[in-house]
Structures are given as structure tokens and as C-alpha cells.
Chain A
Amino acid sequence: MDKYVCRICGYVYDPAVGDPDSGIAAGTSFADIPSDWVCPVCGAAKADFERE
């Protein structure tokens, strides 16, 4: 599964890790993350991410 990077701050979403603090389990692909999820570092929206 692809990693995605936040264009605002550079945070990398790694599907292997997920974002457990926000309720995104490890193994969740970026596409499957709910649309209201935001970058845990800077708050940018999903739309501000690009594939790494």
C-alpha cells in the first residue's frame, strides 16, 4: 500500500502504521481513511496529501 505525504508539513502517512491516536488502525489504506480525517501534525485535510 502506498504512503502519502502531507504537503503542508511533510508528515508521512504509512498504512503499515496507521494513525492509532486518531482511530485509524494499522493496515488502513489511505483511500479507506474517513474523509474528515486530518493530518495529525498540522491539521491539513486529506485533500492536501499526495502519494509519496
Chain B
Amino acid sequence: MPTQYLIVGNGVAGTTAAENIRAHDASGQITMLSREQLPFYHRIRLIDYLAGAVDEAALVVKKTEWYAERNITILTGTMATSINPTARSIQADNGLTYHYGRLLLANGSHPFVPPITGSKLPGVFTLHTIADARVITEAARTAENVVVIGGGLLGLEAGNSLRKSGKQVTVVEFSPRLLPRQLDPAGAAILQHLMESKGFRFRLGAVTERISGGLRTEQIVLKGGEILAADLVIIAAGVRPDLNLITPHASIARDRGIIVNDRMQTTADDIFAAGDVAQWHDQVFGIWPAAQEQGKIAGLNMAGIRTHYNGTTSANVLKVADIKLASAGDIDPENRLQSFCITTPTTYHKLIIDQGKVSGCIMLGETGNFFKLTKAIAERQPVSTLASALLTPFLDQTTSR
């Protein structure tokens, strides 16, 4: 009797799982449910779509043929609405019920919207899906003053996409520095300077009190009273796992995300989780490489192969044109650990060492060999064994080694 695999979510975790299941189970039935209309696409490139650099067709990762070749049934525009773990079935918004032998919850995350008065006014958006990107592109045609709430990766990248088409972009960030999770204060100050010279404005250590306007957004009012003109607002304040499916079921343990073990199993029989929705060893990663790796491990285990997930080093690359920034691991914002650090007016390189092992890096400027450094961080490689080519950006060139 062939196994019935059911996957909720058609992002990188779900699709990688499906690929790995099929590679090890030629006869199992694989069905994927996705509430989005577009098949698996590069969410990472939505900001390029926003900048008008690519069209929707270019965003799609796996075309219809890919699924057909692997005998994977994909149902787009079909949202799972409830699980029945006892009956081993999922109810969808098309009124149909789908049964499973093994279920993967890879339904991802949604943008967090802080409780700000006026956040529901027309002209206020979050950016997570292609549908969001389409409406923002439309609204941006007549907008002049953009305010981005959130100075993290998405906020800066989305702000840059809109700045390129001539808008005035102001970024409002709660933390006293930009990219608080990827940069320490010294690095953030240099990035801020670089971005200000491209025309960005920043309000740091700032809190939005309300968004105000008549029929649509017109202004942002900050705590302290400053008013910013805002005819288009993007809220980029992070994402939260989509837990609505599991909320009624105490048998599926959750914290910030759905709790999984090293084999990506939840606490309920034959239910797995992977990607943005999953929490592993107290971590919800929220990055593409982690979702991809977790999807692979989940798929393998679902197909009967016992293998373990060992985590993913937190690594990020900022995609703002002309500014090269990559950051991985523990960036040690308070400088409690040893580090090799080179600062210039326009660059910043810091390699953090914890008990002799490479544990984090910030590269602003030259980012060559970033992937190899991420691997060294993942493997906790002793800095004494690191190839000199990898160390060069962090060492004073006048010192001999």
C-alpha cells in the first residue's frame, strides 16, 4: 500500500521535502497544498520584482513540468483550514478533505504587524508574497514619500527598491542601530552613512505612535511628536510562524513555532514540520538555507530514512546595490569576545573568536569567501587553522603573520 504524503506549503521547505521524498519513494502519493496562486517562487527576489527588475515568470522556481515529472500533485490556491490528527486528515478551503499517512507542515510565516493605530489604512502594506508585491508596485506608481517601519533586512531592501524609482524613503527603526541582528554598533554606523549617501533617511531608536490620514495614509507620527509625510508605508517588522492550523491541538507542541526534534518530527505521530513554521532547539531561523535544509531532512525522514538536522548557521547577505554586506553567526554586538577588526570610513570587517574558534563575522565592503567563512563558523573551526585567504580581510595588512 503506497504511503500517502501530504505537504502543506509550497515554499522552499515543502518543495525540497517533496523532492527528497520522491527520490527515495517511487510509489508513494505526494500531494502539496498551497494557498498562494503562483507555484514555488523565489520569495527572496520579491524586492527585485518591486524594483521592476524582474517579472513574475522569472520568479517561479519550479515549473509545472517539474511536479508532473515527479508525479507530485500540487494544488495551488488551496488553503488548509484545519487538521484532524486522529482521523489523519486535513480540511481545505475548497471544502475537500485530504487524508495522510505522513503530514508535513511547511506553511511558513506571516509578517508581524505591531499594534499601531492606523495600520489598516489604505496605503499601508506588508511584503511577504507576490500578491503583496503586486499591490505595492501599483500603489508606488503615485507615491512620493515612503516610510518603512523596521530597519532590518527586508525593510532596507524594500526601501531600496522604492528609492530606485525616485521616492523619498525614510526608515523608522526601534533599535538604536540598523540591522540590529546582523551588525554591531560600529558596523551599523558605517552602513547608515553609506545608505544616507544614497538618499535614505533614518529615524533610529524611534517608535511609530500612529499612522494617520483621511482615506489613506498621509503621515506617520513618531513618539516624541515628529511627523513624517507618508503616502506609502511598508511594515517590515519581522515574521511570525503560522500556527493557526495547530492551535486547537494540544498534542502538537508549540512555542514561538511548531516544536520539532532532530528528525523534524512534531510531538504528534506522523506529523512533521519544517521551514519558517518550525522551532528547533529553541530557534526559529526564518532564512532560506535553513528552510531548505529542514525540508530535506523532513522529507528524508518521512520517506523512512533516519537522518538528523544539525542546525543552520544564521547567515545573511544584504541585497542593496553597490553595498556589499554579509554577516553570519554570533556578531557579538557588545564586543565581549575577542575579534579581529578592520574599520575604514566605508568598510567594516570583524571576525569574532570564541575560545579560539571562529564564531561570527561581519563583512561590509569586500565579501569574498563569505560562504567558506560561514562553513568555518558552522564547524566551529579553530582560527589557527583557518586558511590565510579567509583571514586577510580582517587583518591589518601592515602586520606580518
Contacts and interface: CB of A to CB of B under 8 A. Distances in A.
A43 B42 contact: yes
Given A42-B44, A43-B45, A43-B61, A48 B317 contact: yes
Contacts of B369: 50
A8 B289 contact: yes
A43 B44 contact: yes
A44 interface: yes
B8 to A, nearest CB: 21
29 contacts: A5-B371, A6-B371, A7-B326, A7-B367, A7-B370, A7-B374, A8-B44, A8-B288, A8-B289, A8-B317, A9-B289, A9-B292, A10-B371, A38-B45, A40-B61, A41-B61, A42-B12, A42-B42, A42-B44, A43-B44, A43-B45, A43-B59, A44-B44, A45-B319, A48-B317, A48-B319, A50-B368, A50-B371, A50-B372
Interface of A: 5-10, 38, 40-45, 48, 50
B317 A42 contact: no
A42 B368 contact: no
A9 to B, nearest CB: 5
A29 B289 CA distance: 25
A50 B326 CA distance: 13
A38 B289 CA distance: 16
Secondary structure class of chain B's binding surface, majority of residues: helix
A24 B338 CA distance: 45
Interface of B: 12, 42, 44-45, 59, 61, 288-289, 292, 315, 317, 319, 326, 367-372, 374
Contacts of B42: 38, 42-43
A43 B317 CA distance: 13
A36 to B, nearest CB: 9
B45 A7 contact: no
A3 B292 CA distance: 21
B371 A42 contact: no
Nearest to B369: A50
B83 to A, nearest CB: 29
B277 to A, nearest CB: 19
Contacts of A6: 371
A7 B316 CA distance: 9
A48 B59 CA distance: 17
B371 A7 contact: yes
Contacts of B317: 7-8, 44, 48
Nearest to A42: B288
Nearest to B292: A9
B368 to A, nearest CB: 6
Nearest to B43: A43
